[in-house]
Amino acid sequence: MSQVKSGDKIKVHYHGKLTSGETFDSSEGREPLEFEVGSGMVIKGFDDGVTGMTVGEKKTINIPFLEAYGPRNPDMVIEMPKDRFPADMEIETGMPLVMSDGQGQQFQVTVVEIKEAAVMLDANHPLAGQDLIFDLELVEIVGGSPLIIMP
């Protein structure tokens, strides 16, 4: 039976949990996740976790935060003056917002604190600093990348 290796395109069902048991994402009720192993489409720990699996196999993997979304970076918590927000906007702690940098790139931030004249925004990935647990089921090995042999 064929085992997953780097370069294979696969389909996998997953259930992602934090170490507290709280679910943060799942493919339940959706199509399985399809990606090429080793291509950087998913976090390193997920790539490593599916490698060697066979179709129909189920397993649970634990991914330390360094192989997931990395550590939380305190420099990514920024203070934004309240007057930079629309006057009619109701800002709440925990609220996700989308900002853009000077080059037009958009990224998600989360309101972490509301001060008198400013709002503290966290631009870290919501799962940064978190160890993750995934229940996996390999549904299909769709195929590998074509091997090109140059003369």
Q: What percent of the chain has pLDDT over 90?
A: 81
Question: CB burial class (10 A; 0-12, 13-18, 19+) of residue 109?
Answer: buried
The verdict on 47 and 78 lying in the same domain is no
Name which of 131, 126, 16 is nearest 63 in CA terms.
Answer: 131
Residue 1 covered by a domain: no
Question: Over the stretch 102-138, which tens digit does the pLDDT of each residue have?
Answer: 788 888 899 999 999 999 999 999 999 999 999 999 9
Provide the pLDDT for residue 102: 77
**Higher local confidence (pLDDT), 87 or 144:** 87
CATH code of 117's domain: 2.40.10.330
Residues spanned by the domain of 113: 74-122
Question: Over the stretch 60-89, which tens digit does the pLDDT of each residue have?
Answer: 999 999 999 999 999 999 999 999 988 899
The verdict on 17 and 58 lying in the same domain is yes
The verdict on 29 and 94 lying in the same domain is no
Does the structure show a pLDDT above 60 at 47? yes
The verdict on 54 and 81 lying in the same domain is no
The verdict on 112 and 136 lying in the same domain is no
Residue 149 covered by a domain: no
pLDDT tier for residue 26 given thresholds of 50, 70 and 90: very high
Q: Please tell me the total count of domains within the chain.
A: 2
The verdict on 90 and 137 lying in the same domain is no
